[in-house]
Amino acid sequence: MLNNTKKVILKILSIYLISTLFFLLSIFFIVITWKENEIYDKSQQSIREYKRFLINLINTHDAKELKTLASKDNIQSCIFIKNKKIYCDFDLKSIKLPNKRGFFYDKEWIYYYTNLDKSLKNVQIILKGTNNLNQLNKYKKKLFFLIFIILIFSSFIAYILIKILIKPLEENIKVMDNFLKETTHEIKAPLSIINMSIETMQTNMLTDKNNKRVNNIKTATNSLNSIYEDLTDIHFNSKHKIELIEFDKLLEQRITFFTPLLENNSLTLIKSISKSKISIDKTKLIKIIDNLISNAIKHSKNNSTIKIELKDNYFKITNHTNNKLPLNLEQLFERYYKINSSNEGFGIGLNLVKKLCNDFNICIKASRLDKYEISFLLNWYK
Query: What b/e readout covers 108-138, taking b as 16+ CB neighbours within 10 angstroms?
Result: ebbbbbbebeeeeeebbbbbbbbbbbeebee
Among 135, 170, 194, identify where a domain stops.
135
Residue 341 belongs to domain with CATH number: 3.30.565.10
Query: Of 179 and 272, which is predicted with more confidence?
Result: 272
Same domain for 130 and 250? no
Residue 63 belongs to domain with CATH number: 3.30.450
How does strand 314-320 pair with strand 305-310? antiparallel
Domain tally, the chain? 2
For residue 19, what pLDDT band results from cuts at 50, 70 and 90? Answer: confident
In a domain, 297, yes or no: yes
Task: Say which residues have a Cβ less than 8 Å from residue 69's Cβ, sequence separation at least 6.
Answer: 57, 77, 87, 89
For residue 113, what pLDDT band results from cuts at 50, 70 and 90? Answer: confident
Contact status, residue 232 vs residue 238, Cβ threshold 8 Å: yes
Considering only 88-102, 185-199, 321-335, 359-373, which range has the smallest mean pLDDT? 185-199
Task: Say which residues have a Cβ less than 8 Å from residue 313's Cβ, sequence separation at least 6.
Answer: 276, 278, 379, 380, 381, 382
Rounded-to-integer distance, Cα 309 and Cα 178, Å = 38
How many residues are recorded in the chain? 382
In a domain, 304, yes or no: yes
List the domain range (segments joined by +) for residue 302: 240-379
| 187-242: pLDDT as tens digits | 666 777 777 777 777 667 777 777 777 777 777 777 677 676 766 666 666 667 88
Among 135, 160, 181, identify where a domain stops.
135
Contact status, residue 365 vs residue 377, Cβ threshold 8 Å: yes
| 124-163: pLDDT as tens digits | 778 888 777 777 788 888 888 888 898 888 888 888 888 8
In 61-132, where does DSSP find H-type helix? 63-66
